[in-house]
Chain A
Amino acid sequence: MFVAMRLVLVLLLVHLGVAARAAEPSTLRISVIPTSVLAPLYAALANGYFKDEGLNVELAPTAGGAIGIPGLVGGSYDIAFSNNVSALSAVAQGIDVQLLAPFPDGAADETAVIARKGEGIKTGRDLNGKVVAVNTNKNVIWLYVREWIRQTGGDLSKITFREVAFPQMLDALKQKQIDAAFEINVFVIAAGKDPALEIVSFPYREVQPQVQPSQFVATRKFIQGNKDKIDRFLRALNRGGEWFDANIGKDELFALVAGFTKLPVDVVRKMNFQPVAKKLELAELDKTMALMKREGLLKADVDTKAMIYTP
């Protein structure tokens, strides 16, 4: 009886999992975070470019990027939205992922260190003895704010890094639980309007102006078994990128971004949209790898050239 019960439970769970994951031959399941940099993807979807390529793209929005690569490995997704640090860490740990396509430039101008106004925090040196908030320790935001602090005279051994979710950072700052925060675009715009706060620096721009922090990734195994599907996906995405570039500053783009991010249109209008990067830059990935090695996130070099997918 016990064995039968277990069998029923396993079958039920397997059925639920398989039913949800079963994919048609032309279906691609993509893990995304509803953030403005994904506008080219949503444009391709809204304009039917994936359909034109015979693809049925299913988006699986998630609240955070942490499950992207585990979701790829577990087979929940075919393609995931991730970042360069997570991808390099994955490859170093033997998870063979490749970067497929870059996103619009602009991270350098939209991601900023915020501090309380009038407290004289202008450089890394001013943060000695202070608390700096990052969304996740030992990931991309943490890596670049540490490098900016180092380059601007800060002593990392005297600075505490505290994990705070992006939506809570500004409140934590105003309540003096932290002294600075490395924030993303929506909250940088909110901080810009807040008289108690000020934008101190754009660490990406200062550390590595052409950095490509976000990419689509997939496992090499999936790419090799589905090369035609991946190439069709990239062609459609490229058309989405062209639509995006042509509509920067226009109402159509604002409406699209407001639709999938659920942000108020007036906030979207203040975003600094930049054209889509033409290709993945090996040199930029190498710079990120060098920073990771310095911080101890990587013990040895990773074959970055092999990480970039070429159709």
Chain B
Amino acid sequence: MNDAAATVVAQGLRKTFVGPDGNRFAAIDDVSLTVRAGELTALVGPDGAGKTTLIRMMAGLLKPDAGSLQVLGIDLTRDPQAVQDRISYMPQRFGLYEDLSVQENLTLYADLHGVPQAERRERFARMLEMTDLARFTERPAGKLSGGMKQKLGLACTLVRSPDLLILDEPSVGVDPLSRRDLWKIVQQLVHEEKLSVIVSTAYMDEAERCGQVFVFNRGRMLADGAPAKLRAWAHGVTFTARPPEAMPARELQARLIDRPELIIDAVPSGGSVRFIRRAGEDEKQLNEMLHDAPFAPRPEELEDAFMMLLRQAEDKDTKAAAKPAYEAPRVAAVSSNGANCQPVIVVRDLVRKFGDFMAVASTSFEVARGEIFGLLGPNGAGKTTTFRMLCGLLPATSGHLEVAGRNLRTARAEARGRIGYVSQKFALYGNLSVRENLEFFGGAYGLRGKALKARVAASLEQFDLEPSAQSGILPAGYKQRLAMATGLLHEPDILFLDEPTSGIDPLARRAFWRTITALAKSGVTIIVTTHFMEEAEYCDRIAIQDAGKVLALGTPHQVREQAGAASVMDMNSAFIAIVEQSRAQRETKGGAA
């Protein structure tokens, strides 16, 4: 009304919750913003920035403690229902009814939104086509893969054209292909229907596609503007360094990231390392550190600006942030030569069937000691099944499986003593304290007395954990650390990580991978699954699985080459290319037969 082009207008918005310590803290503190209509708007920020709280307030699910919030010209505190009648909202975990079929879910939401029958047919057809779910209309939603569920969730929110679409981290835990599809749908609708969309995300490449980006940290807004404007922050401080022959990119990255006084951020990419230096710092020191690695400027990206903003905010918050994020947890006790020839994981012709369904088809690979091995693939490709078999959680239908020199069929308990496991979801006891969790798992691994005390103390120190905090209400990044600490408590030879960084912000991801590279260096073998393709760059070797088959196996470089293009191609595109190639082949074969 007052501003027809604005969908959301917030003034001095504030929302507090009672924290774990019994004191109130502000999840959103004095936030004022205006969201323009007819375009994509991104909310970005690390864990605990307040994105979800803000989105829930916009959807009328939480009442602000102070300030005003207008959505579509309606005061939300006065008439939330009027807003809810006109917007569509997709929460982080969309509430699909898993026992209802795809069609029934769609029909339910169409009925609830009062979509007329005439309009409905066309809309359903379009949604099913866009989401590629037309083949599965009769399937119960619970039987869809994670990516398909997310697409169905989006379709359900879009059964009618809303005046405003709000998406809360729609791409968490979704593989690159489904993620691409999701964005295609959203962008198409913005383009065709002038849809206004607000989306929160942890992926900077997604934010880059938006017209306007708001950056949050700890309940406050750090910056806002078009991606180009934000990007300009990082102008002139972004570089790429090429590691010397035979040195994995992650080692160079580790060297860089361990010098926070010089380097804001570093991340391996396409065999090189992209980094951001601190402006105005001593040129000589930088040259000295990178004496064996030639580096050159590169164009800045939104992620660079985001990392700079966060580091700035962090520097202000904690003065003593100078120490490196993590230290190597174990003194390198194993010489890296020689030991490498001995594989610690041997998988030969591994098969797993569920009834008639072939989840994993004749898979073979070996993993050497101290290697970081990445298991990648779209949702429902069989990676989780493979992973669970490796951990001994699921017996194989046939094939040979050897972990830490023990046959998993015969010596499961024994083999389990030598592995550590960090699951996808936070799977520790939420109502126990950090120390209690560590002590329990230590005990379960047979540690006791002084040895247990010493290991717990060391883990607390190493992962910078507060022993008396209640585990269930830790921020996501800290939960992740606790899960890692638990997995490493008994100093295992092999560490299994199942999507360890899903839903975790870039800052915490960097710190996490710094620990992993240090562990690998000290001789621990790492098996990891992830949906962040850039994280595949940390791996020595990766395997890409789809439909139960291994499509590609080799170093990131080899895999990129297999995908067709040279090292310029990023891992994300390489992954999509490989999976699509194989799917196309399968289809032509199926068509011929």
Q: Are the chains A and B members of one assembly?
A: no
